[in-house]
Amino acid sequence: MHDRARIRPGAGPRTSTDPRVRLAIEMMSKEDLSRPIRVDKIVARLNISVSRFRHLFKKELGLSPGQFVKSLRLERAKQLLEDSFLEVKEVASQVGFTDISHFARDYKAAHDETPSQTRLRAKNFVSVRG
């Protein structure tokens, strides 16, 4: 089974007792998600090696840094689908996916619905409330 099927935004722990991991999470969370997140910049600020950073991150959060970033991207995509009028392909681009089918597959694995289903559900919720 692929790791991507196990990446559930909000499902894993987001806190860490290690201040380096907390700082890394803060740095990652502030990044422009439409661009690749540069681990080399993060480890330089933390003053640790890339391999040590990956080990520490996985030990503290149960996710690799890449999995964590993907969960950030997919959670942001859900917010955009629910709260904006952007097309699905524009949402995918804004959160760093260049392949729409890859985005849709990862999104469904994370949220148990397709991006289009999220959009429809959000619109129905607004129209019922409105």
Tokens of 24: 């890394």
What pLDDT is recorded for position 127? 54
What pLDDT is recorded for position 4? 41
Tokens of 84: 């904006």
Global confidence as pTM = 0.82
10-residue averages of pLDDT along the chain (130 residues)? 43 70 94 93 95 96 95 97 95 97 98 96 67
Instruction: Give, in degrees to the nearest 5, the angle at Cα 51 between 26 and 72.
Output: 30
What pLDDT is recorded for position 1? 36
- Any idea where the domains of the chain sit in the sequence? 16-129
Spatial separation of the C-alpha atoms in residues 78 and 7, rounded to whole Å: 14
What pLDDT is recorded for position 16? 76
- Fold classified for 16-129: Arc Repressor Mutant, subunit A (1.10.10)
What pLDDT is recorded for position 122? 86
What pLDDT is recorded for position 124? 83
What pLDDT is recorded for position 15? 67
Render the burial of 83-119: b for 16+ CB within 10 Å, e for the rest: eeeeebeebbebbbbeeeeebbebbbbbbeeebeebb
